[in-house]
Structure 1
Amino acid sequence: MGAGAPPAPPSGQQSFGVPGASQIGYEYGPCTGKRKALLIGINYFGQRGQLRGCINDVKNMSTFLHQRFQYKREDMVILTDDQQSPRSQPTKQNIIQAMHWLVKDAQPTDSLFFHYSGHGGQTKDHDGDEGDGYDETIYPVDFRFNGHIVDDEMHRIMVAPLKPGVRLTAIFDSCHSGSALDLPYLYSTRGVEKEPNLAKEAATGLFDALQAYSRGDLSGVASSALGIFKRATSGRGAEERAKRTKTSPADVIQWSGSKDSQTSADATEAGEATGAMSYAFIRALSKNPQQSYQQLLTSIREELAGKYAQKPQLSCSHPLGNDGHPLDESDMEFKF
């Protein structure tokens, strides 16, 4: 490590307590073993909502991984909708099969990398682990016929099977992607774990109640008041459920292009069509490959500041600050 670089993550088993569960153990990935990458870029040629930069994102990311972080071309699976081979098309079946390939036989110290650039969305949550009541989704090229892929399924395939000490880094350059892997620990640029925004939810419900009252709609007032209570209690309950059921003994980090409630830009940078998040991630790490988690989140946001409204997010399968204090620039170096 060069001068001034953050320290490496601690070795060995780490543990912490979760309300309603016993002590949970996990291990940071030292990233010294085998490397594998799955890169997916979908422009949706000829479909409504066609994008321009997603395939470029995958090409840029594969070059970046190969040149800067020693990922071998033969250890990458690339699915894009400009390829002729049916097996290389980003269909729902191919994507799910490739996700299984990515994590198959992963051992402690291995580094896995997942990158998705394409459309994202939301659908109603049915298992109670989403504070806003919606699961996040990604859209394969054949989604109009075969449907989307939900965050619960992506977590089940790519996160749940991983052993302690395996690192999975996931990049989602898509709309509504803040919790696209269902990782229960979300961090701010101040290095503080984010809590559900219950005050905002309550304010929304209060506004609805006042609107109903002004119309003389007393049943609407009661309904909105009940909604305030349900949003507040379900938001907290969903967060606790997610921590009990979605925490992993592995070392899983997700960088996403936007909050769950936001869209992500299909942009143009340096004369090339690109996803704003993919561009910012590569540019930030190219400028300084040795950054802490907090530094990198700040650097990515700075690359987009003033040009895009979206707010990239950092989420993890375990707490990052094991000492109970916020992260800062002296905390662990991010690597993959």
Structure 2
Amino acid sequence: MQQELITNWIDMPTYQSNDWTRGNHAAPPPPPSGAQSFAPGLDYKWVPSKCTGRRKALLIGINYFSQRGQLRGCINDVKNMKTFLHERYGYATEDMVILTDDQQNPMSQPTKANILRAMHWLVKDARPDDSLFFHYSGHGGQQKDTDGDEDDGYDETIYPVDFRTAGMIVDDEMHRIMVTPLQPGVRLTAIFDSCHSGSALDLPYLYSTKGVLKEPNLAKEAASGLLGALSAYSKKDLAGVASSLGGFIKKATTGSQADAVAKRTKTSPADVIQWSGSKDVQTSADTFEGGEATGAMSYAFISALKKNPQQSYQELLNSIRVELEGKYAQKPQLSCSHPLDTRTLYVM
């Protein structure tokens, strides 16, 4: 097993070692090195992570046992992600915090207090070139935005196991805890396998499958969201179809203003990447793959990278969508804390 781990880890692309550097210039080029300007003439810079430093992971899976809206695959998602990170990327089990609602230890339960405490642990003492990993599989929702950084007027939320008494965790708070403190050159990869998760970490640069920066198109998003709610195929939307419809009332006249606020307040010189299971207006499926209950996004992310670890950001986004194509209506999203050349090699 140890030999297999070492072999698999070496085979994964790194900052210095990949197909492009071996002479295959049809492969994605390596990430840039050193501080990167946002645009010519701008002093603000971000620093890519080499992902060669310490590796830490926080994995959260909530099935909500004996609660209304119980799910089936979220704990399996965490188990599969833990194995994948350990065997393929060299994350040590002692550097992972696992919060699932099948554990007996009260400190390992995914309560709001434990999740917030673990988020602080994840980013504590992070240094340039560290690679941090956050994975959440569970219910997601929306609530009224109060600071004007959301195109649709709604913040995204995640549901701790005790959300009925402790409340939800809002995207602004997750950004404040896990993104704002990070130094330039620290990588945080975040995966949200939950409903309405497109901007769950409030990263202001959203990219299309063509690799270009997406601008707000509120009328189109509203129509897409309405159809997604009416189909009601997913069980992960705890609020249900009726309450979901409220999230699709767009404020088209304030969309560009919200986008500007988000870029001004949520941009970061750290290297933060988010993969989400759906657009903000969509639900995410709790389903079965290979005879096992799983979240569609968690399954697709692992499957796509196992099939081909040598992919660019753009290629990986398309590969994840291909894994779900024809089976699920949700559209996984890629967002970033800074402008991103999506043609470069994805490393982690």
Query: TM-score surpassing 0.5?
Result: yes
**CA-to-partner distance for each residue in 1:231-284, whole Å, 9 max, x for gaps?**
333100000010011000100000000000000000100000000000000000
SS for the counterpart of 1:114 is strand
Q: Which amino acid aligns with 1:44?
A: Y
Q: In structure 2, what is the Cα distance between the partners aligned to 1:163 and 1:30?
A: 13
**CA-to-partner distance for each residue in 1:198-242, whole Å, 9 max, x for gaps?**
4537999xxxxxxxxxxxxxxxxxxxxxxxxx9333100000010
Q: In structure 2, what is the Cα distance between the partners aligned to 1:279 and 1:37?
A: 18
Q: In structure 2, what is the Cα distance between the partners aligned to 1:42 and 1:202?
A: 29
Q: In structure 1, what is the Cα distance between the partners aligned to 2:253 and 2:300?
A: 36
Preserved CA contact (<8 Å) 1:201 1:231: no
What is the TM-score normalised by the length of structure 2?
Answer: 0.84
**CA-to-partner distance for each residue in 1:73-96, whole Å, 9 max, x for gaps?**
000000000000000000000000
Alignment of 1:241-260 (within 5 A): 241-260=261-280
Q: In structure 2, what is the Cα distance between the partners aligned to 1:302 and 1:200?
A: 22
Structure 1 gaps of 5+ residues are 205-229, 322-326
In the comparison of the two structures, how many residue pairs are matched? 301
Q: In structure 2, what is the Cα distance between the partners aligned to 1:75 and 1:201?
A: 39
Q: Quote the offset at 1:5 in angstroms.
A: 3.6
SS for the counterpart of 1:182 is coil
Preserved CA contact (<8 Å) 2:222 2:281: no
Over the aligned positions, Cα root-mean-square deviation in angstroms equals: 1.8
Q: Which amino acid aligns with 1:305?
A: E
Identity between Structure 1 and Structure 2 (%): 77
Q: Quote the offset at 1:25 in angstroms.
A: 1.0
Residue equivalent to 2:304: 284
Q: Which amino acid aligns with 1:243?
A: K
Preserved CA contact (<8 Å) 2:99 2:110: yes
Preserved CA contact (<8 Å) 1:136 1:180: yes
Preserved CA contact (<8 Å) 1:36 1:113: yes
1:6 aligns with 2:25: no
Of 55, 58, 63 in structure 2, the residue corresponding to residue 38 of structure 1 is 58
Q: In structure 2, what is the Cα distance between the partners aligned to 1:5 and 1:90?
A: 40
Structure 1 stretches of 4+ with a deviation exceeding 2 A read 2-5, 198-204, 230-233
Preserved CA contact (<8 Å) 2:151 2:218: no
Of 260, 263, 284 in structure 1, the residue corresponding to residue 283 of structure 2 is 263
1:88 aligns with 2:88: no
Q: Quote the offset at 1:306 in angstroms.
A: 0.3
Alignment of 1:32-181 (within 5 A): 32-181=52-201
Q: In structure 1, what is the Cα distance between the partners aligned to 2:156 and 2:64?
A: 19
After alignment, is 167-176 or 194-203 more displaced? Answer: 194-203
**CA-to-partner distance for each residue in 1:283-334, whole Å, 9 max, x for gaps?**
000001111000000000000000000000000000113xxxxx4xxx2111
Preserved CA contact (<8 Å) 1:202 1:232: no
What is the TM-score normalised by the length of structure 1?
Answer: 0.87
1:334 aligns with 2:346: yes
After alignment, is 166-175 or 24-33 more displaced? Answer: 24-33
Preserved CA contact (<8 Å) 2:73 2:294: yes
Q: In structure 2, what is the Cα distance between the partners aligned to 1:299 and 1:285?
A: 9
Q: Which amino acid aligns with 1:187?
A: Y
SS for the counterpart of 1:95 is helix
